[in-house]
Each structure stands twice: as structure tokens, then as C-alpha cells.
Structure 1
Amino acid sequence: MDTNESRRRSLGLLRDAALTVTAVLFAYAAFDDITTDNATTFAVEYSGLVVCAVWVLTLAIRLIRIRRPVLGGISLMALAAAVWGQRAIGPGVVPAPWSAHSIAVVAAFAWFALLSVLLVAIGWRAHPDRDAQAVL
């Protein structure tokens, strides 16, 4: 693989990590707003959650395609668990902390936060200029 291709893939992983962190933070803010706010509609929050879900679905498929099937597969399972767990969380409704729904959503948040760190590490290690930077 040539240097430009390695650089492109490395930067792509770093971009994916940044987008995933953004999605996790937005999803957390949306869940917090949905469960604690007194608004009558949460169209923006639910739309944002759909955008976050589409992003992590895209990321999972991309990971599988670039020969990271374990990361992609776990991401698909975490997304499915989060979608399932979200059903029990609504305006003013928060399931018990140790309910299966709560655990599913928290586990998905934890997985995608960890995945962001892993993507940064993989992207950094794959960057062709990494060794040159270490020498300087």
C-alpha cells in the first residue's frame, strides 16, 4: 500500500473517531433532555438520535468493509441494543438503573466511547508519518 493510501485511511479513521465522539455526546444530551425536560415534543432530540443511529450504522458497515469485522459486529449489536433499550425511555420516564433497558443504553454509550478511542489508536498507528514524527 502506498503512503498516500495509508495516510488517507489513517485520517479516515481519525475522522470517524471525531464523528463518533460527537454522536455519543449529542445522543447523551438528547437522552438527558428527553428524560428531564418538561417540553411537549422532542422532535429535535428524536431526529438527532436517528441521525446518530444512522452514523453508527454507517460506521459499523465501514468497519466491516475495511476488515475490522469484530469492531463492526460489536457496533451493530450495540446499536441494536440501544434501539431496543430506548423504547423504555421517554419523556419523564427513566427505567430503573439496573433494568435491561438501562443497561443496554449505557453499554451502547460505553461501547461507542471506547470505539472512538480505538479508532484514534488504530488511525494513529496506521499513519505513515508516525515513525518520522517519533524520530524528530
Structure 2
Amino acid sequence: MISRYITEDVTEKVLSLLGEYATGQLGTDLSWARLEKAFGYSRQALSANQTIKNKFKEAKRSLKDHKKGALTVVADADELEWLRKENIVLKNRIAEYEKRFKRWINNCHKRGINPLDLDAPIGISPKTAYRSRENLP
């Protein structure tokens, strides 16, 4: 027969069970109803014991953090995979630009063009020059 009062022995068993719940070993659906079924005491009696109540809150908080952590791990893994693919694409693009640059330098030397002349600023276009002459008085 169940004692009317929660004994130290029962308190230790409840705390042990709550500790297992906190790690996520027993799932994430911790409730006072589950504790009622497991130990035969009412929610009011279990929550009146301050030690059990504090451990219950701690276990719930731990399970909540565990759920968030699991979701963020999946999201982080997906993002990491996407970033790795993007990194490969960008490395290939850089390799193609390097090949193009080498071709340009080679063609400059073949035609006798100084590669530094390629960086010269673009002058005013004939159309812009014509327009500026029209506006003069």
C-alpha cells in the first residue's frame, strides 16, 4: 500500500527518474501525469515536495534545450553542407579566372602590349564629348 506521505526513498526514486528524463533517455514527453502513474502520488503531492518540483522544472528546461539543440544541429548541418558546395563552386570560378588572366597576359606579350596599359582608365566616349560640346555657349 502507498504511504500517505512521500518518503525519502520515494523522493530519491522520483529524482532518479527525473534525472533520466533530463538526459532525454526516456523521451521528451515528461509530465506530472506520467509521474502520477509511475509512483501513485497525485500531482499536488509530488509538486508540494520542493526538491521534486525543482528537479521537475530543471528536467523540463533540459528537455526544452535538448529539443532546440537537436533542431539547430540539423539546421547547422544543412547550412554547413550548403556552404561546402558553395565553396567548391567559388573555387572553380576562381580557377577559371586565373586561367583567363594567364591567357590575357600571354596574348598581351604576343601582341607587344604592356599589361599595365590594360589597367589605364577609360577615357570619355565620343558621344559624351559631343554632348559636352553642344552645351558650350
**TM bin (shorter chain):** 0.3 to 0.5
- TM-score, length of structure 2 as denominator length: 0.32
Structure number with greater CO (CA < 8 Å, separation at least 6) is: 1
Greater C-alpha Rg? 2
TM-score w.r.t. structure 1 length? 0.32
